[in-house]
């Protein structure tokens, strides 16, 4: 069986590591994988660092699309992916998540009848002002195999009319849906020992033996709206200064570019001179999971980071008005604070009081989601 895998944005590159590893370890004689990088993310520390560190095969193609408006970026990707699919003639196009690279792959493949396997299917925020919500709905409804990481995602698909009883042969009109666990959980389990052995991030940032908070911010709904970005940074300043605790913030390039423009002047000045806010460039995955496993708490608008906080048993204050990972909130380990300063401070107090009393149920599978996905793709192709 031949698959073409699309990567483009940072989290997709990381997720792809799990499938490539499963293919290398268990399916190398049965599955040929061709990796296509759309070039949506291109800075060394947003892309190549992960390919090298996580042992992902070098992409055979890089479309070098880069940054642009949604329409231009997606359209250029569709054109590039279509050409590759016509040349490579894969059995499946494998797509991850909900970025513009995902959508472009889905449109290109569906129109020329290449079957799509969508990993992270069924997730919904029920907020169509998010570009990701549009991307994931459109991708799911063009897919042949849909792999949902959670029971909620699986149920969302059923609610949208997908039939859990469909049997092979599958097609876009007769898709197969599966609840299989999360490839990001596979990765966190696999890489945590390596991170503890290899990452020097705690030493580099003078965090050894210290309590600290880890924060990430990159959603357009936060970075592009001055009032929201300002409220978030005001809360970070207040928590770090009151508690005399460092907040480490690996800055997504989008946020780095927009902070000076969109923060109130006074807040921007305070952020820059603060001795408690540590603004650092994006870190590698091994560094990130070491930070996640050693911090007190996570404050984030990232989908992946809120889940990894849960994997490493850390509470998360979620800087969004909703989450696709509602199990984390239901378990009491995540709190939706939106970009509301008072709510973020309330979340801090709540989790400070909870201390180590929170429990983190098994929600994301058994660490073998990638193997299941490979086997299911194979089974669907052959008797
Ligand atoms: C994208 C995804 C989002 C995902 C995020 C992961 C879409 C619509 N959004 O958002 O779902 O959570 O990736 O990180 O696909 N930039 C750089 N260097 C890079 C990449 C980006 O400087 O290597 C800057 C550019 O100014 C660019 C901006 O970041 O315009 C946004 O990049 P883009 O890929 O369009 O969206 P993200 O915000 O990264
Ligand atoms: N990540 C990383 N370095 C960083 C920030 C994030 O390796 O500096 C990883 C993080 O551990 C997770 C993924 O990137 O695996 C999440 O990506 P991001 O937050 O960019 O996007 P989202 O998950 O929200 O789509």
254 Cα: distance to centroid of ligand 1 (angstroms)? 6
DSSP labels for 48-86?
HHHHHHTTPPPPSEE----S--HHHHHHHHHHHHHHHHH
The pLDDT of residue 133 is: 98
Catalytic amino acids? 218
Which numbered atom of ligand 2 lies nearest the CA of 301? 24
14 Cα: distance to centroid of ligand 1 (angstroms)? 15
- Among protein residues, the one whose CA lies closest to atom 28 of ligand 1: 254
Q: Are the C-beta atoms of 84 and 90 separated by less than 8 Å?
A: no
Q: Is there an atom of ligand 1 within 6 Å of 57 CB? A: no
The pLDDT of residue 129 is: 96
Which tokens in the block code for residue 113? 């009848």
- Among protein residues, the one whose CA lies closest to atom 16 of ligand 1: 253
Tell me if the pTM is above 0.95.
Answer: yes
* Probe residue for ligand 2, chosen from 190, 216, 304 as the CB with the greatest number of ligand atoms within 8 Å: 304
* Radius of gyration of the chain measured on its C-alpha atoms: 20
**Residues of the chain with pLDDT > 70: what percent?**
100
Which numbered atom of ligand 1 lies nearest the CA of 97? 11
DSSP 252: P
Which tokens in the block code for residue 61? 């193609």
The pLDDT of residue 164 is: 98
Domain 197-354 in the same topology as domain 2-182+365-380: yes
* DSSP-H helix ranges across the chain: 10-26, 48-53, 70-88, 100-111, 131-140, 151-159, 183-198, 201-204, 220-223, 226-243, 253-262, 265-273, 285-294, 303-311, 326-330, 341-354, 369-381
The pLDDT of residue 40 is: 98
Q: Which is it for strands 116-119 and 92-96: parallel, antiparallel or unpaired? A: parallel
Per the listing, tokens 């965090």 go with 207
Q: How far does CA 58 lie from the centroid of its chain?
A: 20
220 Cα: distance to centroid of ligand 1 (angstroms)? 9
* Spatial CA neighbour of 302 closest among 293, 287, 292: 292
Q: What is the block-wise mean pLDDT of the chain (383 residues), using blocks of 10 residues? A: 98 98 98 98 98 97 98 98 98 98 98 98 98 98 98 98 97 98 98 97 97 98 98 98 98 97 98 98 98 98 98 98 98 98 98 95 96 98 72
Q: Looking at the domain 197-354, which fold is it?
A: Rossmann fold (3.40.50)
The pLDDT of residue 382 is: 72
- pLDDT of 52-66, one tens digit each? 999 999 999 999 999
Q: Are the C-beta atoms of 49 and 16 separated by less than 8 Å?
A: no
- Among protein residues, the one whose CA lies closest to atom 19 of ligand 1: 41
Looking at the chain, the number of H-run helices and the number of E-run strands are: 17, 13
On the CB side of 232, how many CA atoms lie within 13 Å of its CA?
30
Q: What is the CATH number of domain 2-182+365-380?
A: 3.40.50.2000
Q: Is there an atom of ligand 1 within 6 Å of 256 CB? A: no
The number of residues in the chain equals 383
- Among protein residues, the one whose CA lies closest to atom 10 of ligand 2: 305
The pLDDT of residue 383 is: 56
Domain coordinates in residue numbering, the chain = 2-182+365-380, 197-354
Which tokens in the block code for residue 197? 């052995």
Q: Which is it for strands 246-250 and 212-216: parallel, antiparallel or unpaired? A: parallel
The pLDDT of residue 200 is: 98
Q: Strand, coil or helix: what is 306?
A: helix
Which numbered atom of ligand 1 lies nearest the CA of 220? 38
CA dist., res. 216 & res. 297, Å (int): 12
């Amino acid at each position: 069986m031949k698959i073409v895998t699309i990567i483009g944005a940072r989290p997709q590159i990381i997720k792809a590591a799990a499938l490539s590893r499963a293919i290398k370890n268990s399916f190398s004689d049965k599955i040929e994988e061709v990796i296509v990088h759309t070039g949506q993310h291109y800075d060394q520390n947003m892309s190549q660092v992960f390919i090298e560190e996580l042992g992902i095969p070098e992409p055979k193609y890089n479309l070098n699309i880069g940054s642009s408006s949604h329409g231009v970026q997606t359209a250029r990707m569709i054109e590039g992916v279509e050409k590759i699919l016509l040349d490579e003639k894969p059995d499946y196009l494998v797509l991850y998540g909900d970025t513009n690279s995902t959508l472009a792959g889905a449109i290109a493949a569906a129109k020329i009848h290449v079957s799509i396997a969508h990993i992270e299917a069924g997730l919904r925020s029920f907020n169509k002002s998010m570009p990701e919500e549009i991307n994931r709905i459109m991708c799911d409804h063009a897919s042949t195999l849909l792999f949902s990481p959670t029971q909620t995602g699986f149920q969302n698909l059923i609610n949208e009319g997908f039939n859990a009883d469909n049997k092979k042969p599958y097609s876009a009109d007769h898709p197969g849906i599966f609840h299989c666990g999360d490839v990001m959980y596979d990765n966190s389990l696999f890489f945590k020992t390596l991170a503890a052995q290899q990452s020097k991030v705690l030493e580099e940032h003078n965090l050894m033996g210290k309590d600290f908070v880890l924060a990430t911010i990159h959603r357009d709904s936060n970075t592009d709206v001055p009032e929201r970005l300002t409220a978030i940074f005001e809360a970070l300043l207040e928590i770090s200064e009151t508690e005399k605790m460092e907040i480490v913030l690996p800055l997504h390039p989008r946020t780095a570019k927009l902070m000076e423009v969109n923060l109130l002047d006074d807040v921007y000045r305070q952020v820059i001179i603060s001795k408690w806010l540590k603004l650092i460039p994006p870190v590698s995955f091994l560094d990130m999971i070491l930070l996640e496993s050693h911090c007190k708490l996570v404050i984030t608008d990232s989908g992946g980071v809120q889940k990894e906080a849960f994997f490493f048993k850390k509470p998360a204050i979620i800087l969004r008005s909703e989450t696709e990972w509602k199990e984390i909130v239901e378990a009491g380990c995540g709190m939706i604070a939106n970009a509301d300063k008072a709510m973020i401070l309330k979340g801090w107090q709540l989790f400070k009081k909870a201390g180590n009393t929170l429990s983190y149920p098994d929600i994301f599978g058994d660490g073998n989601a990638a193997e299941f996905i490979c086997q299911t793709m194979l089974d669907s192709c052959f008797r």
